[in-house]
Amino acid sequence: MKSTKGNNRTLPKSPTGIQGLDEITFGGLPRGRTTLVCGSAGCGKTLLSLEFLIRGALQYNEPGVLIAFEETAEELAKNVASLGFDLDNLIKRKKLIIDYVHLERSEIQETGEYDLEGLFVRLGYAIDSIGAKRVVLDTLEAIFSSFSNTFILRNELRRLFRWLKDRRVTSIVTGERGDGTLTRHGLEEYVSDCVILVDHRTINQISTRRLRIIKYRGSIHGTNEYPFLIDNDGISVLPATSIGLNHEVTNRRVSSGIERLDTMLGGKGYYRGSSILVSGTAGTGKSTLAAHFVDAACRRRERCLYVASEESPQQIARNMRSIGIDLEPWVQKGLLSFHAVRAGFYSLEMHLAILHKLVNHFKPQIFVMDPVTTFTSEGDELEVKAMLTRLIDFLKMKQITAMFTSLTSTAQGSGLEQTEVGISSLMDSWLFLRDIEIGGERNRGLYILKSRGTAHSNQIREFLLTDQGVDLVDVYIGPGGVLTGTARKTQEAQEKAEFVKREQEASSTRRTLEVKRKNLEARIAELRAEFENEKREIEKGLVEDEQREQILAQDRKNMARFRRADVTSNGGRPAHENFESKKTKRRLGSAALRGGTNA
Amino acid sequence: MALANLKKICQEHLAEKYNIEIIDLVRNPQLARKDQILAIPTLVRNLPQPIKKIIGDLSNTEKVLLGLEVRPRS
């Protein structure tokens, strides 16, 4: 069982200073103890241990002693000079002692009992003279080929490791890999604290160096095989698989460079730090989409790393100029960096390691890999997926927005999306570009297969490449299905004609209605005039009647006066005549009311 | 014990033709590096060249003589 984190804190460690190694050992090698580095010839054991000493001396002010059994100090100095390490200078500054132990079997005659006190004396003297904190014995197993009494040697080895522990120096012993065992002479029996295995394998003609921590007593450690690089910065171990799924997330968005696409992605584009897969068949505009993205980012003064595995940077720049995107100025301003490499040039791990270094060095905000599919040919799907997972995790940890383009086979149908399910699950957004073949022509269609955490459009857009870059237009969706290109234009024209026709029909109907209304109004006016006449006639008749009544009444009065008759209280007017006049008035009123309703 | 063995061998086989220098590495540790000493005790034959080293307690006289090339290999 691995110890808990609490123990991990209490176990003191010596940082190696080697990129990545401290990460997978969670702090370095066990302080004051011995670590065994084993591996076959040419694996980088010597370099690893030497870098441990050099970085210890330079970065942590811990002087070191190297007991070299195989190479002289001059040879070692020459070997690491190409990596930028100046051993002579370190030796002069008393930061490093290299003691070359010359062992020549033919010069040595064994007679009876002996021990290796001489080695202890030399080591002790070297440690004391510079106050060394780190010791490397490379390759300790050489003593087995020089002395024949293995019983004595094993005793002495046991004594040596105890002695190193007592001296409280952090030490590395290296051992040649044996047949079926970690070391040829079983050094691992004596070193119980930490064992690191380095390996150099060739698979499919591509060699990869790998490193694995087999044992680390009292500490948690990464247990996988980690590829490592030896380049002009020395060793860098790639601890990508140690990265977990606990990277920071952000709600900030980053524009895709195409306004319409941003709209489709919920109005604001991709999430910053997310991974985007752009897949599509050949010639559907994947690189163009990537170029737009890069161009927009550079306009915002962001740094972009463009990994091209199919085209040269010049070719990409030329092709993008044809659609109105000029990437050249961004390269000159140092905002855009191309990394062109053939997939088959290195192993996947090596690519990953190089990308790690590039990203760490260039510090981009945007990462584009165009296309990612060429790497698929380098290994089986599982390996590619593992590599991409590590790359994406790494980029996410650094909050870098990554776009990967992927070429799908030209076969039509749903199977074409199937092949990419493997890598698509790693991606946050998946844009799909495809050919739509209608009416004897091919057109490009774009849709969003997925976009985690955004309200995105489910519509297919037609994807047009113009002199001014990409344009997205709505496709025609109607009873005839999805139409693009000329078919869409024809359909649109047809619809336009129909629309005009409908418009015309509608306006003629409106005119008819207007005429009808006018007719009606004329008739109403006519009726009203008729009524007014009638009303005037009736009123005139009434007035005449009244006058006649008055005259009659006057006549009756006169007549009565003439006959000297009695005068009635109501002015001589009979009751029935009064009633008649009221009735006439009411009839008039209702006639007026009817006239109003008719109007 | 090695020294006693050595003196005995030298007196028997190299009478008056030898010079023994005894170095205590605990006192002169830097000499271990200079003379490429690993095992203790080590008998170094400096002259004649080439340098020969014989390690152990020198209890096997035959082997010591062989190592010092006093007795030609047969």
Kindly provide the ipTM of the predicted complex, given to two decimals. Answer: 0.87
Task: Check CB contact under 8 Å for A110 and B63.
Answer: yes
Peptide bond just before A139 cis, omega within 30 deg = yes
Pairing of strands A134-138, A64-68: parallel
Residue A263 DSSP code = H
Shortest Cα distance, chain B CAs vs residue A152, angstroms: 10
CA R_g for chain B: 12
Domain annotation covers residue A364 = yes
What is the reported pLDDT for A574?
Answer: 53
Give residues with Cβ within 8 angstroms of B53, minimum separation 6. A107, A108, A109, B42, B43, B44, B45, B67
B45 touches chain A (CB under 8 A): no
What is the reported pLDDT for A242?
Answer: 46
For residue B38, list chain A residues with Cβ-Cβ distance below 8 A: 101, 103, 116, 118-119, 122, 143, 146
Q: Are A250 and A428 in contact (CB under 8 A)?
A: no
For residue B57, list chain A residues with Cβ-Cβ distance below 8 A: 111-114
Q: Are residues A207 and A74 in the same domain?
A: yes
Ranges of each domain in chain B? 2-67
Q: Are residues A120 and A23 in the same domain?
A: yes
A125 touches chain B (CB under 8 A): yes
Shortest Cα distance, chain B CAs vs residue A182, angstroms: 25
Count A/B contacts: CB-CB distance under 8 Å: 89
Location of structure tokens 């132990």: A101
Q: Are residues A72 and A19 in the same domain?
A: yes
Task: Check CB contact under 8 Å for B39 and A121.
Answer: no
Shortest Cα distance, chain B CAs vs residue A139, angstroms: 15
A556-573 burial: b if 16+ Cβ within 10 Å, else e? eeeeeeeeeeeeeeeeee
Task: Check CB contact under 8 Å for A125 and B37.
Answer: no
A103 touches chain B (CB under 8 A): yes
Phi, psi angle pair for A278, to nearest 5°: -115, 110
Domain annotation covers residue A480 = no
For residue A114, list chain B residues with Cβ-Cβ distance below 8 A: 39-42, 55-57
Q: Are A230 and A209 in contact (CB under 8 A)?
A: yes
Q: Are residues A103 and A226 in the same domain?
A: yes
Residues A372 and A309: their CA atoms lie apart, in Å, by 8
HSE-CB at A257 with a 13 A cutoff on CA atoms is 21
What are the start-end ranges of the H helices in A2-149?
A: 5-10, 21-24, 45-59, 73-81, 87-92, 117-130, 142-146
Q: Are A80 and A48 in contact (CB under 8 A)?
A: no
Closest CA to A352 of A391, A326, A325, A404: A391
Q: Where are the strands (E) in A360-427, listed by range?
A: 366-370, 401-407
B65 touches chain A (CB under 8 A): no
Residue A401 DSSP code = E
With bands split at pLDDT 50, 70 and 90, how would you rate the model's confidence at B58? confident
Give residues with Cβ within 8 angstroms of A245, minimum separation 6. A393
A116 touches chain B (CB under 8 A): yes
- Counting the structural domains of chain A, the total is 3
pTM: 0.62
Residues A255 and A265: their CA atoms lie apart, in Å, by 10
What is the reported pLDDT for A366?
Answer: 92
Peptide bond just before A371 cis, omega within 30 deg = yes
Residue A454 DSSP code = S
Domain annotation covers residue A247 = no
Task: Check CB contact under 8 Å for B54 and A108.
Answer: yes
For residue A118, list chain B residues with Cβ-Cβ distance below 8 A: 25, 32, 37-40, 42
Shortest Cα distance, chain B CAs vs residue A144, angstroms: 13
Task: Check CB contact under 8 Å for B25 and A117.
Answer: yes
Q: Are residues A113 and A232 in the same domain?
A: yes
Q: Are residues A429 and A308 in the same domain?
A: yes
What is the reported pLDDT for A541?
Answer: 92
Domain annotation covers residue A248 = no
Peptide bond just before B41 cis, omega within 30 deg = yes
Structure tokens at A449: 């297969």
Residues A280 and A404: their CA atoms lie apart, in Å, by 11
Q: Which of A113, A118, A124 lies nearest to residue B56, judging by beta carbons?
A: A113
pLDDT tens profile B6-44: 888 888 887 777 888 888 888 888 888 888 888 888 888
Task: Check CB contact under 8 Å for A111 and B32.
Answer: no
Residue A55 sits in a domain of what CATH number? 3.40.50.300
Give residues with Cβ within 8 angstroms of A253, minimum separation 6. A268, A269, A270, A271, A272
Residues A169 and B53: their CA atoms lie apart, in Å, by 31
Q: Are residues A301 and A433 in the same domain?
A: yes
For residue B54, list chain A residues with Cβ-Cβ distance below 8 A: 108-111
Residues A374 and A309: their CA atoms lie apart, in Å, by 7
For residue B25, list chain A residues with Cβ-Cβ distance below 8 A: 117-118, 121
Residue A3 DSSP code = P
Residues A38 and A175: their CA atoms lie apart, in Å, by 5
Shortest Cα distance, chain B CAs vs residue A101, angstroms: 6
Task: Check CB contact under 8 Å for A99 and B33.
Answer: yes
Q: Which of B36, B51, B60 lies nearest to residue A111, judging by beta carbons?
A: B60
Q: Which of B32, B51, B55 lies nearest to residue A110, judging by beta carbons?
A: B55
Q: Which of B32, B57, B63 lies nearest to residue A114, judging by beta carbons?
A: B57
Residue A193 DSSP code = S
Peptide bond just before B48 cis, omega within 30 deg = yes
What is the reported pLDDT for A163?
Answer: 92
Structure tokens at A283: 């010639």
Amino acid at A504: Q
Residues A30 and A35: their CA atoms lie apart, in Å, by 8
Structure tokens at A169: 């120096």
Q: Are residues A11 and A112 in the same domain?
A: yes
Domain annotation covers residue A483 = no
Q: Are residues A229 and A297 in the same domain?
A: no
Domain annotation covers residue A575 = yes
Task: Check CB contact under 8 Å for A122 and B33.
Answer: yes
Q: Which of A109, A121, A126 lies nearest to residue B54, judging by beta carbons?
A: A109
Of A242, A277, A311, the position where a domain reaches its end is A242
Domain range for A397: 253-474
Structure tokens at A563: 């006959």
User: Mean pLDDT in runs of 10 for chain A (599 residues)?
Assistant: 46 86 87 90 86 91 91 87 85 90 80 86 91 90 83 89 92 86 79 86 74 86 79 72 63 85 84 87 83 89 90 87 87 89 77 83 90 72 75 85 81 51 77 80 83 81 80 73 76 87 92 94 94 94 92 89 66 51 52 48
In DSSP terms, A121 is beta-bridged to none
Q: Are residues A456 and A334 in the same domain?
A: yes
A270-293 burial: b if 16+ Cβ within 10 Å, else e? bbbbbbbbbbbbeebbbbbbbbbb
Q: Are residues A9 and A104 in the same domain?
A: yes
How open is the CA angle A120-A125-A126, to the nearest 5 degrees? 100
Q: Are residues A210 and A268 in the same domain?
A: no
Closest CA to A527 of A519, A576, A295, A303: A519
Location of structure tokens 């009606």: A520
For residue B56, list chain A residues with Cβ-Cβ distance below 8 A: 110-114
Structure tokens at A107: 């010069």
CA end-to-end distance (rounded Å), chain B: 28
Helix (H, G, I), strand (E, B) or coil at A228: strand
Residues A465 and A235: their CA atoms lie apart, in Å, by 46
Location of structure tokens 């210890």: A56
Residue A553 DSSP code = H
Q: Which of B33, B36, B56 lies nearest to residue A114, judging by beta carbons?
A: B56
Q: Which of residues 404-423 of A touch B (CB under 8 A)?
A: none
Phi, psi angle pair for A379, to nearest 5°: -155, 175
